[in-house]
Amino acid sequence: MSLWSDFLIRLFDTKETGTDFSKSVQTIIRECYILFPRYRLKLWIVNTRKNEIKIFTVTGNELKVKEFPLSQFKFESLLRSKSKPFYFFESKKQNRILIPLFIEDALSGCVAVSANSNKSMSEWKTRLPYFFIVAKRLIKILELNAKNTAIDTLMEMNQNLENKVTQIDLSLEREKRAHMQAGKMATLGEVAVGIAHEINNPLTIIVSRLGHLEKNLIKKDMLLPEIADSIKKVNQTVDRIVKIINGLRHFAYNGEERKTPVVLTKVISDSLELCQERLKKNEIELKIKKPTFDVEISAYDTQMIQVLLNLIINSLDAIRNLSEKWIEIEYKIEAETLSVIVRDSGTGLAADVADKIMNPFYTTKERGQGTGLGLSLSKSIVENHEGRLFYNSKATNTEFVIELPYIRVLDILA
């Protein structure tokens, strides 16, 4: 078998269906070097979309690719003219032919073959048929590569579109949940304000009458110790009622409220004030692990009080019948994130419970004891503050963590 026949067989054995475009080009250029060792073949590919030209060459067994701006390709206009099937250029050092490659009438590149200038035109002509065969073979490979690239681009665009649709769906779902939450909170707010108003009216009368009674008894020197003790207990009861009203007002979310700078320790103290009596009644030890700094956050303060109060009450309900009863609140900053931790003396949640604990309407409390909305709403509120609320399954005790961005760390506390 002649070298020519062997070359053609190897050339057409080059797979068109392979996905490795570079390997196919490398094989063809290398075969040309073997058959025509004194000629140097290069593949130039034009990419008008990226405004560049790529030049493929082979050195040894290695394919090399160089990229240049399309403006440096001085033969582009000539090749696009389609005036000749090939173009011959002479110079003192070497001669060169360029065979343009067209796909659907669009210039895709060219085959550039160069040799020393001592090669005669007749010798060039004997090689031309083979270079044309190479050019046609490269066109087939370029066409396949263009199709594969188009398919890949289409798949990528389709994936991007699917991702955008997913993002839009998630955004709509978040917006829907936010509207639902806003509706629930608005209803709760209306009810809370109404209840607070109804309680406040008789409370005002009680406080007024009690003060008037105490003054009269003092004037008449009739304030006996047992009466004074009763008045003191009534005043304490009034204080508790005031705290209940304040708690209701905290839950009365106003949709026109705006985020404001809030000091974290103030949120903690306000939350504890609303549940202090319940903690004492259930003989639960409260631990506050304060670092040497305070933190300022941007928040709807009533909502953050709601979240913290909900976590404390959940802990209280969970441990009230344990022999060891304590709740600990801690805050710290790690990796530019503020973490507020509420842990208690419980031994943690079962895995199946932990997986569902944030779901709406899921509760571990007895029927009638809980709605199953507390943690779900708290999670939504924290996310609305660009943070997250989660159960820490790695902790020894039962532990929930609120992570939030913060404005600044305040001066060291005294």
What number is the average pLDDT over the span 317-330? 91
Task: Give 245 or 340, the one with higher predicted confidence.
Answer: 340
> Are residues 262 and 129 located together in one domain of the fold?
no
Looking at residues 200-223, what average pLDDT do you find? 82
- Higher per-residue pLDDT: 123 or 343: 343
Q: Is 265 in the same domain as 152?
A: no
pLDDT one-digit tens code per residue, 65-90:
888 888 877 777 777 777 788 888 88
Whether residue 285 is found in the same domain as residue 407: yes
Residue 252 lies in a domain: no
79-113 CB burial, b ≥16 within 10 A, e <16: beeeeeebbeeeeeeebbbbbbbeeeeebbbbbbb
How confident is the prediction for the chain on average, in pLDDT? 79
Dist CA 401 CA 392 (whole Å): 7
Residue 390, pLDDT > 70, answer yes
- The per-residue pLDDT for 252 is 54
Q: Is residue 272 part of a domain?
A: yes
Instruction: Specify whether the CB–CB gap between 79 and 87 falls below 8 A.
Output: yes
* Cα angle for residues 78, 83, 85 (degrees, 5° grid): 95
Residues 262, 149 within the same domain: no
Which tops the pLDDT comparison, 23 or 120?
23
Q: Bigger pLDDT: 183 or 37?
A: 37
Task: Write down which residue in 142, 161, 180 finishes a domain.
Answer: 161
> Which of 333, 262, 342, 325 is closest to 297 using CA atoms?
262
- Domain end among 140, 161, 182: 161
Mean pLDDT of all residues in 125-152: 80
CA distance linking residue 85 with residue 121, whole number of Å: 16
Q: What digits encode the pLDDT tens for the residues 97-130?
A: 888 888 888 888 888 888 877 766 777 777 888 8
- 9 plus 135 within the same structural domain: yes
Domain termination residue (choose one: 161, 190, 217): 161
What's the pLDDT band for 55 if we cut at 50, 70, 90? confident
Distance, CA of 186 to chain centre: 30
- 98 inside domain: yes
Q: What is the pLDDT of residues 247-273, one digit of tens each?
A: 556 555 554 557 889 899 889 988 888
Whether residue 143 is found in the same domain as residue 273 = no
Is residue 184 one of the residues assigned to a domain?
Answer: no
Choice between 52 and 371, residue whose per-residue pLDDT is larger: 52
156 & 13 share domain: yes
Q: Is there a contact between 311 and 342 (Cβ–Cβ < 8 Å)? A: yes
Find which of 8-12, 114-118, 330-334 is predicted with most confidence, using mean pLDDT. Answer: 330-334
* Count of residues in the chain: 414
Least confident of 117-126, 296-305, 340-349: 117-126
Residue 287 belongs to domain with CATH number: 3.30.565.10
Please check the confidence at residue 358 and state whether its pLDDT lies above 80.
no
User: Same structural domain for residues 136 and 263?
Assistant: no
Q: How confident is the model at residue 342 (pLDDT cuts 50, 70, 90)?
A: very high
Q: Do residues 27 and 152 lie in contact, with contact meaning Cβ atoms separated by under 8 Å?
A: no
Highest-scoring range by mean pLDDT, 187-196, 265-274, 347-356: 265-274
Are 54 and 47 in contact, with CB atoms under 8 Å apart?
A: yes
| 26 in a structural domain | yes
Nearest CA to 274 out of 232, 306, 235 is that of 306
376 found inside a domain:
yes
Q: Within this chain, do residues 277 and 129 fall inside the same structural domain, yes or no?
A: no
In terms of domains, do 16 and 154 share one? yes
Statement: residue 414 has pLDDT above 60: no
C-alpha span between 65 and 309 (Å, rounded): 65
Q: Inter-axis angle of helices 121-219 and 3-13, to 10 degrees?
A: 20
399 and 288 assigned to the same domain: yes
Contact 98, 87 (CB under 8 A): yes
Residues 155 and 7 in one domain: yes
**Is residue 106, in this structure, part of any structural domain at all?**
yes
Question: Does a structural domain hold residue 189?
Answer: no
| Total structural domains within the chain | 2
Q: Which carries the bigger pLDDT value, residue 128 or residue 338?
A: 338
* Average confidence (pLDDT) over 390-407: 90
Q: Do residues 296 and 315 make contact, with C-beta atoms less than 8 angstroms apart?
A: no
- Contacts of residue 242, defined as CB under 8 A and 6 or more positions apart, other chains included, come to 203
* CATH code at position 75: 3.30.450.40
Strands 285-289 and 326-334: parallel
Instruction: Decide if pLDDT at 365 tops 70.
Output: no
Which domain, by its residues, includes 129? Answer: 3-161
